[in-house]
Amino acid sequence: MELYGQDLNQWYQQTSQMTSKTALTSDSMSDQNLESSREDYSSWSRERLISRLTQLEQLQESSSRNTSKNLNPKTNLRRENFSSRAFDPTKYSTRLVAFKLAYLGKRYNGFEFHANCYTPLPTIEEELWKAFWKAKLIFPSNGQAVGDWEGCEYSKCGRTDRGVSAFGQVIGLRVRSNRPLGRKRVHLNEDLNKIRQSDDRENEEENSPEDQSQNNLSPKFNNDLPILNAVQSGVGRPKPQVEKIESQIERRESDIKDDSNFDPIADEIPYAAILNRLLPPDIRILAWCPDPPPNFSARFSCRERQYRYFFTQPCFLPIPNSIDPNHSTSSIKKCGFLDIDAMKTAAKLYEGQHDFRNLCKVDASKQLENFVRRINYANIEEVSDSIPSLKFLNAPEFQSSDCAKDSGYPKVYSFTLHGSAFLWHQVRHMVAILFLVGQGLEKPSIVTELLDISQNPGRPMYQMAAETPLVLWDCLFKHEGDIERNEMLQWIYVGDTPGTADTKYGVPAGGLMDNLWQNWRERKIDEILAASLLGLVAGQGQSAKNLEARSNGKGKSQKVFDGRNSPLLQGTYTPVMMKPVMDAVDVINHRYALRKGFESVTDMKKQSLGELNNPRRDHIIKSDFPE
């Protein structure tokens, strides 16, 4: 027993040295116990020694936790304070704003975001929503999915497809503002928050965990916007006191404090600068409109959408005359070169009001019956550009006799199109027909034939043009009946506000123009290198006019240009009007109704299970199927 007590005494002395400092500051031990800790433990009983050791081990474990927790008390305090400061949207006013933006669509799966639908690439709307949310310009409720704009009065002008770009897309939504709230409004919001917090505590006590996860909103997202209906969650009608407060919160700007010192433009949040820092480099906010007209909708208020489809001349690499099996001395355009004059003639036939069902893709789920759209302007226009490295294309060996005197190839052109609204894939179908006309495979009169639905109720199965060269160039908002077609939105472009020039050009760097320059230069260098290599190889070896073909037979396959980087090989070309024809629109709609379990389209209309197209004049203006 004596030897056992000596061993315990030695172990205790070692442990006491490690814990003595902490023991001095601990409330669990009195001063008397500390003094008694210096006793001779050899005389203690075994039970008493074990009890003492257990006490010391617990004290050592407790002191270790306290020491690690207080290693950096300032850091912990800062983190706790930061996490407890939730963003309170009720302290801010909001305003309805229109934004004009641009994006390069090659990396995106189109503009529109579809919830619960996987896409291989992100969408423009998805990136916009994330940027507005990170900037605390919108206040989604807890549980609101990414891309859900509910509560923001959100509207969009065009819905571009995958790969399509836009330089003048417009959206409208209600965002946070610097404009001060009136005192009455602040008090109402505070009272509303108190009632909500009380309701949340009641729900936590009454509801099951499953119900709480679905119905309760986190405090930082309890209020979507100061101007929205107060209760967005829970079940049943709001309490009477909530209804009374909500009735005093108007959905107008008149409840905002009339502060003559507040400038609605200069003193406002720098929306464009903030969003451009958060958005990807190929999506940029160009301008914002501080005061859209009442009941503004980016979709329904738009009076004209403008598209441009870019292509090169020649559209693909021509073969030298000496080895071209299809070359002749006639004035027929050489393979690869487009007949621009014929394309202009065909483009003008699009102008006016026509039924474009044979120049679009029919979506049976929409049950459309009206395909009449108005085209205000259609033409082929040359775009200023020059690539000196490809000057070999100006040599006679690469041209036919009718264009030998021309120079400056390759050239860039665009099919420019203005209209009030467009059907699904309408622009890409229209430009595909123009390419066939330009290659001499179809006559300009093919446009008239396709627009005549009495003779051709079904669309021939021809290939539409590629998506990448297409750009939604601009969206115009004009007053109804304005002959001069003046823009009714007052756009504030980046850098227009006094003292914000650095947001446009960057001082020393980081402005909008600086970002766009970097984007352009990266692609320009790629273009220069590719063009230089092409020109270098063209000049190596024998001259093009001295080359000899391995056979004199005609080409086995027709090259057809559709806007892509290389032409399609289609064997012997089949004219459009001789291709297989799709079913008429009413047949497509009827088949869709049967597949959905209805007896007919009429039966589906009666049950109101499909969004139907009504052939009204305002629908022609407000179509929701832009390219």
Which of 146-150, 383-387, 436-440 holds the top average pLDDT?
436-440
**605: pLDDT confidence band, cut at 50, 70 and 90?**
confident
Mean pLDDT of 146-151: 86
Length of the chain: 627
- The answer, yes or no, to whether residue 284 has pLDDT greater than 60, is yes
Mean pLDDT of 482-489: 74
C-alpha 211/C-alpha 145 separation (Å) is: 18
pLDDT digits (tens, 9 = 90+) for 370-399: 999 999 999 999 998 655 556 656 666 666
Q: Phi, psi at residue 473, to the nearest 5°?
A: -75, -40
- The answer, yes or no, to whether residue 132 has pLDDT greater than 90, is yes
Crossing angle (nearest 10°) for helices 2-25 and 46-69: 30
Amino acid making up residue 451: L
C-alpha 26/C-alpha 323 separation (Å) is: 98
What are the residues facing 169 on neighbouring strands? 101
pLDDT digits (tens, 9 = 90+) for 353-371: 999 999 999 988 888 889 9
SS3 at position 500: coil
Question: CB under 8 Å to 392, separation ≥6 — which residues?
Answer: 398, 535, 538, 539, 544
Would you state the structure tokens that stand for residue 394, as one six-digit string?
């100006």
**245: pLDDT confidence band, cut at 50, 70 and 90?**
very low
**116: pLDDT confidence band, cut at 50, 70 and 90?**
confident
C-alpha 433/C-alpha 345 separation (Å) is: 12
Lowest mean pLDDT segment, chosen from 167-171, 228-232, 315-319, 518-522? 228-232
Which of 37-51, 90-104, 309-323 holds the top average pLDDT?
90-104
Map out the domains of the chain as residue ranges.
2-80, 183-255, 303-475+556-618
Instruction: Return the pLDDT at 25.
Output: 45
**601: pLDDT confidence band, cut at 50, 70 and 90?**
confident
pTM value is: 0.73
Question: How many Cα atoms within 13 Å fall on the side-chain side of residue 571?
Answer: 1
- The answer, yes or no, to whether residue 133 has pLDDT greater than 90, is yes
Instruction: Return the pLDDT at 69.
Output: 54
CB 361 within 8 A of CB 428: no
Mean pLDDT of 276-286: 95
- What do you get for the CA distance between the two ends of the chain, in Å? 95
H or E element at residue 492:
strand 492-493
Question: How many Cα atoms within 13 Å fall on the side-chain side of residue 592?
Answer: 20
C-alpha 617/C-alpha 627 separation (Å) is: 20
* Angle formed at CA 151 by CA 221 and CA 155, multiple of 5 degrees: 140
Chain-centroid distance, C-alpha 436: 33
Mean pLDDT of 436-441: 95
Instruction: Return the pLDDT at 50.
Output: 86
CB 186 within 8 A of CB 257: no
pLDDT digits (tens, 9 = 90+) for 340-354: 999 999 999 999 999
Q: How far is CA 340 from CA 142, 297, 440, 462, in A?
A: 56, 38, 11, 21
Question: CB under 8 Å to 383, separation ≥6 — which residues?
Answer: 310, 412, 413, 414
pLDDT digits (tens, 9 = 90+) for 509-519: 678 988 999 99
Q: Is 143 left (phi over 0), alpha (psi -120 to 50) or beta?
A: left
Would you state the structure tokens that stand for residue 32, as one six-digit string?
């008397």
- Residue 232: name the closest of 136, 114, 89 by CA: 89
Please give the CATH topology (third level) of the domain spanning 303-475+556-618: Alpha-Beta Plaits (3.30.70)
C-alpha 505/C-alpha 140 separation (Å) is: 33
How many distinct helices (H) and strands (E) make up the chain? 17, 12
CA quadruple 485, 489, 494, 495: dihedral sign: positive
C-alpha 505/C-alpha 74 separation (Å) is: 41
pLDDT digits (tens, 9 = 90+) for 152-174: 999 999 899 999 999 999 999 99
Residues forming the active site: 161
Amino acid making up residue 383: V
Amino acid making up residue 77: L
Amino acid making up residue 362: V
